[in-house]
Amino acid sequence: MAATDIAEKLLAHIRQRGPSKAKEIADALGVDRAIVNSALYGELRGRVRQGTSYAWSLVEHEHQHRNGDSPSANARSKLFGYYLECLSQDDDSGVRTFADSRYDLDYVELEHWPLEAARAYLETQPIRKLLGRQQRDTRKKVLWLGYPVSLRRVHSRKGWEGTFLEPLLIWPQDAEAGELEFLPQPQINTRALGALTASENVLEDAAMLGDDLGLDASDPPPIDELVTRLRDLRPEWDWKETLDPASLRAVGSLRQIGDGGIYNAAVVVIADKSPFTAGLERELADLRHVEDTAITASSLAVFLGAAGSESAAKGPLLEPAPLNAEQRIAVQQALSEPLTVITGPPGTGKSQVVTAILVNAAWHGLRVLFASKNHKAVDVVMDRVNGLSPRPFLLRLGTRTLQQQLAQHLTHVIHRTKWLPRYHGIVTYRHAAPHRLAGPHFKPYL
């Protein structure tokens, strides 16, 4: 089938079926997906456009309307833009290492793309050695899959010359997997992006590029379409080779390259863990453009002064442990105000206050999500809260081990509820822990 015929059939398919992904078009026409992509990015450039979901539509049929932002939206945009800029100043994360060294390298080149090919790369001695280094320091180090690779020549003031290796896209290691696996959702490597753009707010640039690439989609796009789109979005970058993950450059060649640029290579790199939550920069960027109506009932609206205060819970205050006057006020406000910020140095009883908040929230039948960046803090509060009842009413989610414990607990509850007495559908314990809880009844929140 001639290229012109393919192009016309592609246009006809999109006109008839609407926005379609390359694989859907290829299956409908009975041709290889590579041929479809070649026409979409080549002969049909300017006549079709790809959305963030990787579906192609006709440019002539697109009508975009942009309404003026409200004053509160503009203020919100400036606020979260400021946070992004602050993070950019403090961010020292990302993946960067030396392309060559007299010592052991912090990366291993791959012969095949691991997310779509056989996992034989795991059995190689260099990968096992790199994995062993990471397992000796799991608190600080993590392995990343990177592709494609940017090489950057540097010259120090002291006369040193060398080459930095910085993958453009990085896939984080799946820490919960039994063996070396990588999560299917890639991230923008801020180290590489910062070097390529010299931006003062690299986290915002990373969030915007991630949106353009559709990285937050639940179904990750095929790697060849992802990197083709990346190159199409950033044609000014120094692309040295055609990007083809099915045919990576020869293993062992990166350390020998003297010319900087972006190469068709995939690597596994050991690097420091990011100090920020994965995707934080993208979430902040998204909050800049969210509609006012979407945050009306949220704590964010209260924080921005766009919502009033409503009482959430009233009644006597339970004290699982004695509270002083300031702690008691903090608990009462947390239960009655839509947003409360409680601060204090170590040893001032923050965990004790949180425990009281959770117990009283459960007493009033409220649903609570308790989260922390510190696992130890969660352990302390969970032990205190669940120690007040013969059955836990604070259930923890997270790792696979915790999920298994939760499944076992729910299975036990289902079996027990066949004979436990009930009162209006709620299991009730009379005078549970009377020396620690006030009131005649204590109702665990299951």
Number of residues assigned to the chain:
446
Q: What is the pLDDT of residues 265-320, one digit of tens each?
A: 999 999 887 655 556 666 776 777 777 777 777 777 777 776 655 556 667 888 88
User: What is the number of other CB atoms lying within 10 angstroms of the CB of residue 423?
Assistant: 10
DSSP 426: B
Q: Output the pLDDT for position 419.
A: 52
For residue 430, name the pLDDT band (cuts at 50, 70, 90): very low
For residue 242, name the pLDDT band (cuts at 50, 70, 90): very high
Q: Which of 315, 360, 352, 298 is nearest to 334 (CA)?
A: 360
The answer on pLDDT for 323 being more than 60 is: yes
DSSP 221: P
Highest mean pLDDT among 7-16, 96-105, 232-241: 232-241
Between 26 and 433, name the one with better pLDDT. Answer: 26
Q: Output the pLDDT for position 225.
A: 92
Residue with tokens 């947390």: 334
Element (H, E) at 48: strand 48-50
Q: Output the pLDDT for position 71.
A: 57
Q: What is the pLDDT of residues 67-117, one digit of tens each?
A: 445 556 666 777 776 666 666 555 556 899 999 988 889 999 998 888 655
What is the residue-averaged pLDDT of the chain?
78
User: What is the number of other CB atoms lying within 10 angstroms of the CB of residue 91?
Assistant: 20
Report the C-alpha gap between 107 and 98 in whole angstroms: 9
The tokens describing 135, both together, are 């397992």
Report the C-alpha gap between 341 and 330 in whole angstroms: 9
User: What is the number of other CB atoms lying within 10 angstroms of the CB of residue 73?
Assistant: 17
DSSP string, 232-260: HH-TTS-B-S---TTSPPPTT-GGG--S-
Element (H, E) at 143: strand 141-155
For residue 184, whether the previous peptide bond is cis, meaning omega lies within 30 degrees of 0, is no
Alpha helices in 317-399 (DSSP H): 325-336, 350-363, 375-386
Tell me if residue 274 falls in helix, strand or coil. Answer: coil
Q: What is the pLDDT of residues 369-405, one digit of tens each?
A: 888 877 777 888 888 888 887 777 777 776 667 777 7
Q: Output the pLDDT for position 165.
A: 95
Residue with tokens 């060849």: 224
CA angle 357, 362, 368 (to 5 degrees): 70
Element (H, E) at 262: strand 261-263
Report the C-alpha gap between 169 and 145 in whole angstroms: 8
Tell me the CATH architecture of domain 3-61. Answer: Orthogonal Bundle (1.10)
Q: Which of 49, 66, 70 is nearest to 58 (CA)?
A: 49
Domain assignments of the chain as residue spans, ordered by start: 3-61, 92-275, 309-442
Tell me if residue 168 falls in helix, strand or coil. Answer: strand
Alpha helices in 18-160 (DSSP H): 22-29, 33-41, 71-90, 125-135
Say if CB 266 and CB 144 are below 8 A apart.
Answer: no
Q: Output the pLDDT for position 206.
A: 82
Report the C-alpha gap between 355 and 372 in whole angstroms: 13
Q: What is the pLDDT of residues 404-416, one digit of tens each?
A: 777 877 787 777 6
Q: Output the pLDDT for position 343.
A: 85
Chain-centre distance for alpha carbon 45: 32
Q: How far is CA 243 from CA 165, 226, 249, in A?
A: 17, 10, 10
Write down the number of H helices and E strands in the chain.
14, 12
Give the percent of the chain with pLDDT over 90.
Answer: 17
For residue 248, name the pLDDT band (cuts at 50, 70, 90): very high
Q: How far is CA 64 from CA 11, 15, 59, 61, 207, in A?
A: 21, 18, 11, 10, 22
Q: Output the pLDDT for position 344.
A: 83
